[in-house]
Structure 1
Amino acid sequence: MTKIFYTFLVVVTILLTAGCNSNKQKSKTEKDGSSCESQSCCSSKTSTTTIDTSKVNVVYFHATRRCATCEAVEKVTKETLAKYFDATVPFHSINREVEKELAKKYEVEWQTLLILKGDQVKNLTNEAFLNARTKPEKLESLIKSTIESMS
């Protein structure tokens, strides 16, 4: 039964992230006339983000085009960090299509939410995509407890 559940979670995650990549609607930045090139998360052509893994970091890898769920994952994550951790836990929003070396380092190929410290890597992607829009409080609780367990 557990194996079936995890298989289901993987399939749902794949479907959700595939929808993000093939989203026909334009992102907010495209709608208002600005390009992703002017966004701080996407402005670099090469990897410039440095992650200090001596402390807990939250890293969200995303694509250039983003669906509502992708944006919700980032929003809930940022709000959770602001609510419980002030500025003590850095948040990195990384365009995986631009910062390819960093994505490769963490073996990221899709939208991915990671919590890092040292050699510890906690991948919250499945839970993030399942809950960000419909049960944000559940994702908030998971982010909070994961960070606290790694601190």
Structure 2
Amino acid sequence: MKKLFHVFIAGIILISCGNGAKEKTETANSETMQNDRVEVLYFHGAQRCITCRAIETNTKTLLDSLYSKEIVSGRIVYRIIDISQKKNEPIADKYEVTWSSLFVNGWKSGQEKVNNMTEFSFANAKSHPGKFKNGIKDKIDELLK
């Protein structure tokens, strides 16, 4: 019952995080061409709720504190993607993203393993940031192996 409640709340939050105005811009980190890597992709629209902002802040904090060497080497790529910008439509379409979302994907030998962490992120980023960071860390560590 508790899980159903969390899914319901996450659904309401996701609906409230629509694209909104198209004025705000975000820059995406450069993507490397390294074959074996982990990509952390945070998608957002122009208007973001407090939970959306918590997802971005907690993800960045986690990556900066534990994975700075992997980011510098290109083993981990972190991209912030504003889906309200026309130039980002192809990647939003690829992952079927229409609102704030977090993906932690692994690339090995040219094959992508997609992990949509959106539901987990909305359930935990704001209310349980420690659980959120541990869950994202566990997924990244799994993909780095």
TM range (shorter): 0.7 to 0.9
SS state at 1:123 partner: coil
The TM-score normalised by the length of structure 2 is: 0.77
Cross-structure match for 2:24: 36
CA-to-aligned-CA distance 1:82-137 (integer Å, 9 cap, x gap): 11111412211101121111100112122110011222011111111111111100
2:119 to 118, 126, 147: 126
Relative contact order, higher structure (CA 8 A, sep 6+): 2
Gaps of 5+ in 2: 71-75
Alpha-carbon distance, 1:21 to partner: 2.2
Any conservation in 1 of the 2:27–2:81 contact (CA below 8 Å)?
A: no
- Count of residues paired in the alignment: 131
State the one-letter code of the partner of 2:142. S
Aligned counterparts of 1:125 and 1:51: Cα–Cα separation in 2: 24
1:140 to 2:129 alignment: no
More strand by share: 2
2:53 to 65, 68, 71: 71
Matches within 5 A, 1:100-111: 100-111=89-100
Cross-structure match for 1:44: none
Any conservation in 2 of the 1:81–1:87 contact (CA below 8 Å)?
A: no
Aligned counterparts of 1:103 and 1:62: Cα–Cα separation in 2: 10
Quote the sequence identity (%).
Answer: 28
Q: CA RMSD in A?
A: 2.6
**CA 1:77–1:90 in 2, change beyond 3 Å: closer, same or farther?**
same
1:94 to 2:94 alignment: no
Cross-structure match for 1:85: 67
Cross-structure match for 2:39: 57
Cross-structure match for 1:31: none
Alpha-carbon distance, 1:58 to partner: 0.3
The TM-score normalised by the length of structure 1 is: 0.74
